[in-house]
Chain A
Amino acid sequence: MDAWDDYTEKVMDHYENPRHVGTVENANGVGVVGNPACGDVMKLTIRVENERIVDAKFKTFGCGAAIATSSMVTEMVIGKTVEEALAISNKAVAEALGGLPKIKMHCSVLAEDALKAAVDDYRKKNANTGKSEK
């Protein structure tokens, strides 16, 4: 059996046609998580305006599940407030993809971590400027 025989149609769709690949040009939050030595790295860039994520893009080095969860998390966060986005768990990302093979669940953790890291980065930058960006 191929490693990906357990991938749902949604996972395959997001792997084949990933949404929001790239880098948000005027991003004010960047998260880079993972480790190439472990076989997965995700970079998430977000644009936050008035505490709402108006754009998100990703770049991911990883297996099919890692790419699909990266794509899905960008879909899920765009339009949400920062607080709402932080409430998204890795399980929610996996569920939105119709589930992931058990051995691939750690890939969805990468997406959740990247989101937290990007929001942390935004908040740090925001604290430094002392005001919410317009």
Chain B
Amino acid sequence: MKPIYMDHHATTPIAAEVLETMMPFLTSDYGNPSSSTHVYGRVARAAVEHAREQIAALIAAQRSDEIILTSGATESDNLALKGLAYRQAINKGHIITIATEHKAIIDTAEFLKKQGFDVTYAKIDAYGVIDLQNLRDSIRADTFLITVQAANSEIGTIQPLRDIAQIAHEQGILFHTDAVQGLGRMDIDVVRDGIDLLSISGHKIYGPKGVGALYVKKGIRLHPLIHGGGHENGMRSGTLNVPGIAGLGKAAEIAKRDLIQESERLLNLRERLRKGIESRVDLVQLNGHPQQRLVNNLNYSFSFVEGESLMLACRDVALSSGSACTSASLQSSYVLRAIGVPETLAHSSIRFGLGKSNSAEEIDHLLDLLEKHVRRLREMSPLYEMAREGVDLDTFAWTPHDHHNH
């Protein structure tokens, strides 16, 4: 039997209504939206424009032509950062971001740094929230972009988007946000919140993989990354992925329609899980902000228990961990390290990502598993034994940190 899915930050299943919307464009309505000479093309074009309106509505964008369709949020992030950077006359200028951003932002920023641009990582607190005073202090005369995510995929921390936008705009700086994790889970309004560019992913909101969008406020020009037929007002060439786009549109419509009801339901489930963990398991630490966090996210470190072994014990439920043992790089989560979580606790962390399919019964089943296996694994843990014997684990003479490199 397949495990219960609780990893909705990684991806979400395609909703039935979304698939239904996509099907005609995978079968009978296969036209190219650029073919204006016949009905095939016109049907496809109409579907794309309808989807664009649905996507615009989700983020309260005033015009649907502010939506550029892409292959996903990684491309959207790349297009926002490089697209703005390459508008500069020469490769100079300054970008401000934070260390807990998705790698699509961090690696793109670091790439631009190698090309001559400057990047500053504004300070964040122990919950991962940006330090607004430090953000202000980081601004330079040549700062052209502040990019800060709406919410974090690992620790769920929500950023004060309106405050960041205000600081950016006071200095005439553009504000981009990667809103992938926030959409469908929090109310985002690009006009009210002062967002100039915003990245969207299809598969995080019960839409298909391989499709996304970038909101670009009217009047902002980007340097394109992909050249060709001049699609998307020349900002992103390539024949449009019509089934994917139609699916993304429908997913956006549902996300907007169900936002209030589904957020409330997820919040109740999350609080059930939180209270259950905190009352039934001792020596746990919540990572991320206690209140200012996504309605569907929890991230706990279970002291003295290694994350992969706990996930293995709870493999009835599909979860993820910040432990090194679950990553190919053998590095623990960079997000947890960036907010100052000690390595040991990063290895002991589990991320819970709730979604539409989850029920209270599933939460209760998970709680039974966690209670039982944390206890079992602690009985097996030398760290738990040493801590109870009063050994200071921070100063103990451990094998040097590079012992993996045998």
Contact = CB atoms under 8 A, between A and B. Distances in A.
A21 interface: yes
B258 interface: no
Given A62-B325, A64-B308, A35 B400 contact: yes
A130 interface: no
B399 A21 contact: no
Interface string A1-14: 01110000000000
A29 interface: no
Contacts of A64: 308-309, 312
Contact of A36 (B308, B325, B383): B383
A33 B309 contact: no
A32 B325 CA distance: 20
A37 interface: yes
Contacts of A18: 380
B397 to A, nearest CB: 9
Interface in B347-406: 347, 379-385, 393, 398-401, 403-404, 406
B320 to A, nearest CB: 10
A39 B347 contact: yes
A67 B315 contact: no
B344 interface: yes
Interface string A60-81: 1111111100000000000000
Interface in A13-31: 15, 18, 21, 23
B343 interface: yes
Interface string B287-328: 000000000000000001111110110010010000111101
Interface in A38-94: 38-43, 59-67
A38 B401 contact: yes
A64 B404 CA distance: 16
Contacts of A32: 382
Interface residues of B, number: 36
Nearest to A107: B325
A109 B404 CA distance: 8
B332 interface: yes
Majority SS at the chain A contact face: mixed
A37 B382 contact: no
Nearest to A7: B312
Contacts of B311: 2-3
Contact of A67 (B309, B385, B401): B309
A62 B306 contact: yes
Nearest to A112: B406
B380 A3 contact: no
A67 B380 contact: yes
B381 A106 contact: no
B401 A61 contact: no
A127 interface: no
Interface of B: 304-309, 311-312, 315, 318, 323-326, 328, 330, 332, 342-344, 347, 379-385, 393, 398-401, 403-404, 406
